[in-house]
Each structure stands twice: as structure tokens, then as C-alpha cells.
Amino acid sequence: MTYCVAMRLDAGLVFLSDSRTNAGVDAISTARKLTVFEDPGDRVTVLLTAGNLAISQSVRQILAEGRDDKRSLWTARDMFEAASVVGDAVRQVYKRDADALRDAGVEFNVSLIFGGQIGTERPRLFQIYAAGNFVEATPENCYFQIGEAKYGKPIIDRVIHPAMPLDEAAKCALISMDSTLKSNISVGLPLDLLVYETDTLRVTRFVNIDERNAYFRMIRDTWGQRLRQVFGEIADPEWDAAAPAEFPLARAGDGDRWGQPVRARRERARGEG
């Protein structure tokens, strides 16, 4: 019960998460799913979590308590090593809890997005799976989603590209979230939005968004109005194949191979009129 999205752009990174963890008839609960691990001037890394809340909180706690470990988010030389540290934390929780969860009929279910910048290396973004393995965002696929991803995916696929300015990407992420909120009760406010500009090495642009946030309310109202406006401007289908039309739906002279629907025929009993 969540939706998180993150984008890796030429100018930096965008992270957005909701906070709903339960949406029963009489029990709606929330928990923060975006966590920042920051050493200003040296590194900023951000973790987004989805799936079983107990698992994701355990992973986050292991990472937070590893400050004094020889191999941790605070000592990793680059983002690849840092992503490996996160994967190791997932495996540690799996080793501890997976058997007990299986005995209780519960799947070991966790999905993570992890990104940031360490030193002078460019910002990087990873999606980490329940097995602790991960993939990295590329210019061809510069964003990741976890949780209820399908509702907010179309706008991102049509709009996002690596050269997009950070503020436009943040707007796209918020529209994607609004589409998800509209269609799925298991995703809900408040939201955490963090925009990281390359080489700042500190968090400078973060906001927690609730139902009173003026910008997000404008997004919700404007996006719905503009969708209805564009929908109304698109021509209705023209069924008369003989009449001239700019974009004909049916064309005169088309063969019959796909010109008729598949029909199920009624078999009449012998002697029936």
C-alpha cells in the first residue's frame, strides 16, 4: 500500500512518496517512507520503501545504526557500494525473518528505491529488490516506481527525459501521484517530496504535502480540468466510411477479414422453427 517514484535527471534527482500503510474500512494509518542519510558537504542519499512495513523499517534501522561500521552508507566510496550496503541490509532481514514470515503465511515483500550523490561522483539512482539485488537508472530509463505504479506511469512515460529541469520533473511526479491517488485508495496523503540538485551535497528542497498544500491542490484541480478539455477537443469517431473525414475510423474498401466481429451462433434444436 504505497506509491513511490524517483527520477534521475541531468540536473539532479527527484524523490516522491506517499505515506499510507493501511486503508481498511475503519482503519487508515500512515508512515513515512522517505528517509534521508545526509553528511552535508560529503554525501546525500535517499531511501524510498514499499512493501511489508515491518521489513522496510528493519532495513532502514540497520542502515541508520551502521554509522560506525567499516562498511556503511556513511563510509561507502561511491553510490554503487552504497546500494550494495542497502542490498546487504535486505538480506540480513531476510535471514532473520523470512522463515518466521513463511510459517505465518506472509511473503517476504519489500521494494526499495535508493539514490543520491557521494563526493564528486554524479548522482545515481537504483531500484533494489527483495533478494537484495538491484538495477541502476539509465538515460533510456531514468526513473523508477515501486508500489502502486500503474496509475501514475503513463504521464511519466510521455513526459520525462533526462534533460528536463528539476522543477518540471517534480511537477510531473506530483501529477503522477495525483493520478494514483485518484484511482487507488491504498495510496494517500501526506506526501514527501525531495528535489536534489547535483553537487549541492545537502538537502535544500524538501516539503511535506498534505491536503492543505496550495500547489498540490492546484495540480489536482488543473490537471483534471485540462484532461477534460483536451478530451473534448479530440474528434469523435466517424463511422460513415463513405463520408469524407480527416481521421476516418472505418475505411471504404477494407477487406472483410477484420471487418466483422467474431460471432457465436446459436445452434437450433432439430424441429425448432
What's the pLDDT at 177?
Answer: 96
* Nearest-angstrom CA–CA distance, 112 and 144: 10
Instruction: Scan for cell 528517509, then name that residue.
Output: 35
**Domain residues of the chain, as ranges?**
3-211, 213-251
Q: What is the pLDDT of residues 134-154, one digit of tens each?
A: 999 999 999 999 999 999 999
Other C-beta atoms lying within 10 Å of the C-beta of residue 216: 21
What's the pLDDT at 253?
Answer: 64
The fold of 3-211 is Glutamine Phosphoribosylpyrophosphate, subunit 1, domain 1 (3.60.20)
* Nearest-angstrom CA–CA distance, 103 and 96: 13
Given a contact cutoff of 8 angstroms between Cβ atoms, the answer to whether 127 and 85 are in contact is: no
Q: What is the pLDDT of residues 185-214, one digit of tens each?
A: 889 999 999 999 999 999 999 999 999 999
DSSP 171-210: HHHHHHHHHHHHH-TTS-S-EEEEEEETT--S--EEEEE-
* Nearest-angstrom CA–CA distance, 24 and 246: 50
- pTM here is 0.91
Q: What is the pLDDT of residues 30-61, one digit of tens each?
A: 899 999 999 999 999 999 999 999 999 999 99
Percentage of the residues of the chain whose pLDDT score is greater than 90 = 79
Q: What are the backbone dihedrals phi and psi of residue 23, each rounded to the nearest 5 degrees, phi first?
A: -140, 50
Given a contact cutoff of 8 angstroms between Cβ atoms, the answer to whether 128 and 113 are in contact is: yes
